[in-house]
Amino acid sequence: MNLLPHNKSLRSLSLRDPSGTLFEIGTQLIRQIHSPSSEDWNQIKRSPTLKKFTEKGLFVRSWEITDADISTLPPELSNKNNNATQDIYLGHEKIDFVNYPSEWAPEMLREAGLLTLDLATELSAENLGLKDATPFNVLFSGCLPVFVDVLSVEKRDPHNSLWLAYSQFSKTFVNPLLAYQHLGQPLYKTFLLSREGLTATDFYTQIPFLKKLNPSLFTKITLPAILESWSDKKLRNHPNTEKLMNPERAQFTLQFLLKNLKRSISQLNFNHKPQNTQFNNYMSGESPYSHQQFESKERLVKKWLALHSRKSILDVGCNDGHFSRIAASLGRKVVAIDSEVELISKTWSMSRISHPTLLPLVVNIANPSPASGWRNQEHRSFLDRTQGQFDCVLMLALVHHLLTTESILLQHIIELAKELTTEHVIIEWVSPLDPMFQHLKKGRDYTHLTVEVFEQQCLKHFTIIEKETLPGNTRTLYCLKKLFLS
């Protein structure tokens, strides 16, 4: 492994687990496992289950760093504690674009939960388990969830039937999914408020009275909320709650619990309700494009992507992901964002098999995910994560929405486009005379925003490589190349 010299910056990416720390050194991810956890790792790394999940791409690929390579690490890393000589250092494969539960569609959170339960179930047969069960242990690589916290895996007492992470799983997987299903509460509202998810008590207070008697909610939320304070008090008074029994019975009991959890989230049906119908159904009969217009748009976008994108693409305002899938079909890695949960759910469901390198995320570009966590440093903001990541950005049928519904000035929209891309932007200009623009403007006057004004703003930061007006003369597509200042 080719590690980086001492002068590369070192950044800690984890702070909650005393058994180890994850660091970023330049473009490398290094995990330091502290003694005595390093001794457990020597057994855990031989797990057939971990090998199986790693080969399927469901568990992060890791490798031990040799003594020779350890000497190339920054000195402050190897001197983090007095037992550094007994510590183990791992290298990890990086996920292309870091993402968080607040940016997932409900189906994605469920998929991450199912991965967590499947991993815990198979590990239990090896007297191993997961000491925590938070969605922050999972990142999506395209449409595929990947379990990335190797230190979550621990030795399990074969006589103990309890899963101490059960409560955390309920708060961070089950309850947020139920809150979306029954209350329409998006995941970003749950996880930006608290990375610990939603307690049964907090959920219970939000449920209308009659819904509290709903059979599925009564057993999963109402009854747990009633018992929550009692059980917390019991745990405080009796912290050692291990149920010891013979190994066969203990494993059966544990696996029964895990299978019940898996069944409960597998059976959830998400009846998505559009948050803003103005943005929906562009690909249906309500599309603002004629058949001829859409064919022309598709032809241009496909041609320009083939010519002017190399590796990674950001599709801002992706709608149902149609153009994102075109980009993915060209072999590009794609991050597709939209503010509508329903559309990201649809994009993920349509893409997970046919276009697995496509990562759809719920992000409102006018109010993107902020930095969060301890000192606002645990989870980077969306805009921070985009820096230097995308050589091409799609902004199709987006600018007029930002102008009208978000009241963002045109110059700021173009400046954002410049910041999001390292090279090219494919952008669509919709004239104020366009029927959709007319529908959105709500009596305000935008006649000063001519195509000439749009081009003047673009030329401050880009060169116009090519442009073409679609049939109907109210929509024009541009392929822009970023200006590089010396």
Query: Which pLDDT does position 122 carry in this prediction?
Result: 97
Residues 348 and 413 in one domain: yes
Residues 64 and 148 in one domain: no
pTM of the model: 0.91
- Looking up residue 16, the CATH number of its domain turns out to be 3.30.200
Residues 322 and 405 in one domain: yes
| End-of-domain residue from the set 94, 121, 150 | 94
178-182, 217-221, 450-454 — which one is most confidently predicted on average? 450-454
pLDDT tens column, 377-432: 899 999 999 999 999 999 999 999 999 999 999 999 999 999 999 999 999 999 99
Which of 161-170, 201-210, 263-272, 455-464 shows the lowest mean pLDDT across its residues?
Answer: 201-210
| End-of-domain residue from the set 209, 242, 271 | 271
* Three-state DSSP string of the chain: CCCCCCCCCEEECCCCCCCEEEEEECCEEEEEECCCHHHHHHHHCCCHHHHHHHHCCCECCEEECCHHHHCCCCHHHHCCCCCHHHCEEEEECCCCCCCCHHHCCHHHHHHHHHHHHHHHHHHHCCCEEECCCCHHHEEEECCEEEECCHHHEEECCCCECCCCCHHHHHHHHHHHHHHHHHHCCCHHHHHHHCCCCCCHHHHHHHCCHHHHHCHHHHHHHHHHHHHHHHHHHHHHHCCCCCCECCHHHHHHHHHHHHHHHHHHHHCCCCCCCCCCHHHCCCCCCCCCCCHHHHHHHHHHHHHHHHHHCCCEEEEECCCCCHHHHHHHHCCCEEEEEECCHHHHHHHHHHHCCCCCCEEEEECCCCCCCCCECHHHCCECCHHHHHCCCCCEEEECCCHHHHHHCCCCCHHHHHHHHHHHCCCEEEEEEECCCCHHHHHHHCCCCCCCCCHHHHHHHHHCCEEEEEEEECCCCCEEEEEEEECCCC
pLDDT tens column, 285-296: 467 888 999 999
Domain that holds residue 2: 1-94
Structure confidence at residue 250 as a pLDDT band (50, 70, 90): confident
- Return mean pLDDT, the chain: 88
Residues 81 and 209 in one domain: no
Query: Which pLDDT does position 42 carry in this prediction?
Result: 87
Which of 127-131, 219-223, 276-280 shows the lowest mean pLDDT across its residues?
Answer: 276-280
Question: How many domains is the chain partitioned into structurally?
Answer: 3
Residues 395 and 416 in one domain: yes
pLDDT tens column, 184-236: 999 999 999 999 999 988 887 887 766 766 766 656 664 455 455 555 555 45
Residues 470 and 371 in one domain: yes
Is the confidence at residue 241, as pLDDT, over 60?
no
Residues 76 and 106 in one domain: no
Is the confidence at residue 486, as pLDDT, over 50?
no
- Looking up residue 389, the CATH number of its domain turns out to be 3.40.50.150
| End-of-domain residue from the set 271, 297, 329 | 271
Is the confidence at residue 284, as pLDDT, over 60?
no
Residues 257 and 281 in one domain: no
Residues 235 and 305 in one domain: no
Residues 364 and 471 in one domain: yes
Q: For 441-460, what is the mean pLDDT? A: 94
Which of 72-86, 148-162, 223-237, 393-407 shows the lowest mean pLDDT across its residues?
Answer: 223-237
Residues 246 and 370 in one domain: no
Residues 321 and 424 in one domain: yes
Structure confidence at residue 84 as a pLDDT band (50, 70, 90): low
